[in-house]
Homo-oligomer: A and B are copies of this chain.
């Protein structure tokens, strides 16, 4: 896949008409980047620990916040109720997560890492943190700060576009 600078929106309409270049199209470049970066993390949780992305996200949240409501984890991890249900079924089957009815509201479930789940979490997190650090090590502090701002701004614009259809 090619690499190229971002389009800047400064061309005239006439120029743009024949100048649409996927390689310079920001949404495409972001998708390619995110895929490649995600793949470096997935190498850890998929290849070494046989979790899929949804299962890993749930494990990650539960490792940092014990006794969470299933609904809350789903919201935080960006999973719908079906993805959540399937991922949890697998995590419970392999005894990484315990699922208990919420005593406050028995429609919901309360989740907790098992001892094994906690051990796996403690094993995986240093590995993925090391990978994140390796990725970020190529950036200057200013660039890291910029990336933070850029992500926030683009997410807001994307949310606006989505809302407008």
Contact = CB atoms under 8 A, between A and B. Distances in A.
Interface of A: 1-3, 5-9, 13, 16-23, 25-41, 43, 57, 60-61, 63-64, 75-78, 122, 125-126, 128-129, 131-139, 141-144, 146-162, 165
Given A17-B122, A75-B1, A161 B134 contact: yes
Count the copies: 2
A162 B9 contact: no
A144 B8 contact: yes
Contacts of A27: 34, 37-38, 40-41, 128, 131-132, 135
B78 A7 contact: no
A35 to B, nearest CB: 8
